[in-house]
């Protein structure tokens, strides 16, 4: 990579949030954003407004739930967790992403003909 940070591809944030909650368990919004940035080795940048919009959208879909709790520094925070419906969606979206990324990979490997 060129060392520049990239914005998240449209449509992938929901998938990354669901996967992060599935793998890590309940997290507050800031924790979700920081974990995704860490896994991307800081290639992706997530502003909190974008993450909270995604969390609200996922909650409205019934794919995540939230509850109030205390953060690491003992502040009141909303913790999000994936639901059974969210796990099903994660499985479907993961399968779709793997199929589409495979197609993109094949296209990028095309060599000039003749």
Q: Identify the pLDDT of residue 56.
A: 96
Residue 7 lies in a domain: no
Q: Identify the pLDDT of residue 46.
A: 87
Q: Domain with 62 in it: what CATH number?
A: 1.10.10.10
Q: Is residue 55 a contact partner of residue 32, using CB atoms and an 8 Å limit? A: yes
Ranges of the chain whose pLDDT falls below 50:
1-3
Residue 43 lies in a domain: yes
Residue 6 lies in a domain: no
Q: Identify the pLDDT of residue 1.
A: 39
pTM across the whole model: 0.84
48's enclosing H/E stretch is: helix 48-60
- 69 Cβ contact list (under 8 Å, min separation 6): 26, 28, 76, 77, 78, 79
Residue 85 lies in a domain: yes
User: What is the domain extent for residue 94?
Assistant: 13-108
What is the per-residue pLDDT across 42-64, written as a single tens digit (0 to 9) for each? 888 888 788 999 999 999 999 99
Q: Identify the pLDDT of residue 2.
A: 44
Domains in the chain, number: 1
Q: Identify the pLDDT of residue 11.
A: 72
Residue 78 lies in a domain: yes
């Amino acid at each position: 990579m060129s060392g520049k940070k990239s914005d998240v591809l449209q449509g992938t944030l929901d998938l990354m949030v669901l996967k992060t909650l599935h793998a890590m368990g309940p997290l507050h919004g800031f924790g979700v954003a920081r974990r995704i940035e860490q896994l991307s080795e800081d290639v992706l940048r997530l502003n909190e407004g974008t993450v909270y919009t995604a969390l609200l959208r996922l909650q409205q879909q019934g794919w995540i739930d939230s509850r109030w709790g205390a953060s690491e520094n003992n502040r009141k925070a909303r913790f999000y967790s994936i639901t059974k419906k969210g796990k099903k969606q994660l499985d479907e979206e993961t399968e779709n992403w793997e199929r589409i990324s495979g197609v993109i990979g094949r296209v990028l490997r095309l060599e000039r003909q003749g």
